[in-house]
Structure formats: structure tokens, C-alpha cells
Amino acid sequence: MSGYMPVTTKFIYYFKGPLPFDVYLERSEGKYTKIYNKDSEHDPEQIYRYENKEVTTLFISHEEKGLYGNFLCKLMDQYTSGHSDLDKSKIIDVISTSLEMTYERISTQNDELESNMAWASQQVKSALHLMEDNMAAAIEVFKALSSQNQLLKHSYMVSLFSLVLAKKLGIHNPKNLMSIGLGALLHDVGQTRIDPQLFLKSDLTTQEWDAIKDHPHLGLKIVDHTKGISSDIRSIILQHHEQYNGRGYPNRLNNGQIFPPAKIVAIADGFCSFISKASYRETTFTPEEAIKMMKDDIGHYDPEYLETFMTVIRGNKKPMKKAG
């Protein structure tokens, strides 16, 4: 794996002030030359010349990935501070890039899944444009998610898997896909209003668990006055913890009462929780193990949707035969 990660020249071009990391140019394959030192300012004319030569990507060290994330937040602040004529497309690009930085491939050796995940990332970017009419609120929502890096990563991964499952289920209407993508991205935004220490505990009291279970309602309050947040997206935020058997929360809805896209997000949410590191447990699970545990949790997830999701994850791989 390369020790460098790509950054777009346009972000460097528009940033004002000292750069918080070293910047490199790839002179030839695998050969990098430092063109800006950390804490120096870039030369806009030089960046412009690179772009005229169709060089649109520069590089920073993987070790400074965290600094790049902070850089994107500062860049967004520059776009928004004291300006009424916000460049919405630039802000969407920054938010989208910040999300993409959290992407983590899973080990499935499934080329079709990787292709679909790349497609889904473009769908997420399109979905973000639904919030353009209230960009100030969109920025606040994004900053709330960004305050907890693990939550931002989880939200993005859930959005990607939700879209891939939706596509596999035959949902192709762009409006519906954008609602699912954005609803999945925002499904846990209510957690930003809850004491983060609660998510570090494995032995919650009844009162603490009730506080966590309030996050769907808190999420609705956060997006309550945000244009572009449709009733479909709100239903996903509210219902993503409802269960097929009626034992979920907050309203104990059963199969026929649950908004179908919320069922999709519930499956992606559960899967991503199992395969990712969690502060309250040491163990992570393989995709196969995660699917098995979800299937064993009878009545939690829509069985038809879960069966379809299993084919998404396994691809062309045949299920393992039981011994005997």
C-alpha cells in the first residue's frame, strides 16, 4: 500500500493560509516530490499551472490523514464564514470527500460489491445536494457527525450498504435512492445529542439504555427545520431500530407498519455494527459471521431483505455446507 493518499488540487487552490501538512507531486509512478512544506502557503499560480497540465491530484502522507480531515473542516469554515453567497457545490465536495475518507473496504473478495460500493458513493454525493436549500443546517449536521469520527464512518458505511441493498431489491428511482442514501447517512445523527460516554459502556443501566433509545426522536429534532429532509428521510431516521417482530423502538412497529427503506437501513446498520470495531467490545466479526448472527436473530430483520443482503455480501460465493 502506498504511503501517500490523493488530495484534489481544487481544495489546495481555494484554501487560504498555511497548509497543515506537506504536499507532494507524483513525478512518475511511485515517485513523489515534496512541493509544499507544512505551515507554508501554496502558490495559486503554480496550482493553476498544474491544472492546465491536467494534474488535478496532489498527495499527502497517510500519516497526516487526520490533519487532512481537520483541513477539510477549516476549508468549509472558509467557504461559509461571513459570506451570504455560499458556493454550495464546493461545500458538498468537501463534505463528500470527508465522508469518503472514512471508507473502509471489507474482505469479501467480491468485485461486484466493490463496484456497487463505488456506485453508492456517487449516490451519496448526489443525495447531499438535497440539503442545498438549507446549507447552513447541512453544515451543522455534518459538523455534529464529524465530532465523533467513528459515528461519521459508521453513518457513511451504512449509507453505502443501504444503497447497494436497495439497488439489489430493484429500487432504481433516483429520488427514492437519494432519500435512502441521505436517510441512512443521517440515521444516527441523534446520537450526537447523547453523552458519548454511554457508548463506551457494555453494562448500561435501564435509565442509560432509555437515553440511547431516544436517539431516533433526537435525530428528528435536529433535522426538523432543514429543507430537503423529506418525510421519507424522517421515517428512516425514526424507524431504523424498529423490528420485523414488533419488538423494536421507539414505537414497537411490526413488519407491515415499518417503512420499507427503514428496514433496508436497519439491516445495513446491524451489519456495519458487527464488522466494525466498537468501544464496548473487543471482538469484530467477519462479514460471514455478521450475516449468520443477523439470521440467527430471528424476527429482528425482514427475512426477505436479509436474504437478499446475504447475496450482496457473498456475491458469487457459494454458502458453506454444514458438516454431516
pLDDT digits (tens, 9 = 90+) for 217-228: 999 999 987 888
Distance CA 191, CA 285 (A): 23
| pLDDT tier at 324, thresholds 50, 70, 90 | very low
pLDDT digits (tens, 9 = 90+) for 231-267: 999 999 999 999 999 999 999 999 999 999 999 999 9
Confidence band, pLDDT 50/70/90 cuts, at residue 6: very high
C-alpha cell at 142: 455534518
Instruction: Write 313-317 long-range contacts (CB < 8 A, 24+).
Output: 313/108, 313/110, 313/113, 313/271, 313/287, 313/288, 314/108, 314/110, 314/288, 315/108, 315/110, 315/111, 315/112, 315/113, 316/110, 316/112, 317/108, 317/109, 317/110
Among candidate residues 18, 148, 6, the one with its CA nearest the CA of residue 71: 18
Region 59-87: what's the mean pLDDT? Answer: 82
Q: Render pLDDT for 170-212 as a digit per residue (tens, 0 to 9).
A: 999 999 999 999 999 999 999 999 998 898 888 899 999 999 9
Residue 94 has pLDDT above 80, yes or no: yes
Q: Calculate mean pLDDT across residues 42-53.
A: 93
DSSP state, residue 321: P
DSSP string of 32-85, one letter each residue? EEEEE-TTPPP-HHHHHHHHHTT--EEEEEGGGHHHHHHHHHHHHHHHHTT-SS
| Least confident span in 15-29, 73-87, 133-147, 173-187 | 73-87
Residue 320: is its pLDDT beyond 50?
no
Q: Virtual CA dihedral for 285, 279, 194, 253, nearest 10 degrees?
A: 20
Q: State the average pLDDT over residues 18-45.
A: 94
CA angle 38, 70, 227 (to 5 degrees): 145
DSSP 87: -
Tell me the DSSP string of 160-222.
HHHHHHHHHTT---HHHHHHHHHHHHTTTGGGGGS-GGGGG-SS--HHHHHHHTTHHHHHHHH
Q: What is the model's pLDDT at position 224? A: 87
**pLDDT mean over 130-146:** 86
Average pLDDT over residues 117-138: 91
CATH class of the domain whose range is 91-314: mainly alpha
**35-49, 80-94, 263-277, 290-304: segment of lowest average pLDDT:** 80-94
Picking from 102, 172, 114, 103, the residue whose alpha carbon sits closest to that of residue 313 is 114
pLDDT over threshold 50, residue 216: yes
State the pLDDT at residue 199: 87
Is pLDDT of 322 > 70? no
Domain ranges of the chain: 1-85, 91-314
pLDDT of residue 295: 96
Q: What number is the average pLDDT over the span 20-34?
A: 93
Tell me what the mean pLDDT of segment 28-37 comes to.
93
What mean pLDDT is reported for the chain?
90
What burial letters (b/e) apply to 36-75, b meaning 16+ CB within 10 Å?
A: beeeeebeeeebeebeeeeeeebbbbeebeebbbebbeeb
Of all residues in the chain, the percent with pLDDT exceeding 70 is 93
From CA 119, how far away is CA 122, in angstroms rounded?
5
Better-predicted residue by pLDDT, 317 or 81? 81
Greatest CA separation for the chain: 71
**Arithmetic mean of pLDDT, 306-324:** 70
Question: Which grid coordinates are listed for 88?
Answer: 454550495
Question: Distance from first CA to last CA of the chain, Å, rounded?
Answer: 42
- Of the pLDDT bands very low, low, confident and very high (cuts 50, 70, 90), residue 156 is very high
Q: Which residue has the higher pLDDT, 109 or 120?
A: 120
pLDDT of residue 85: 64
**pLDDT score recorded for residue 244:** 98
7-11, 88-92, 283-287: which is most confident: 7-11
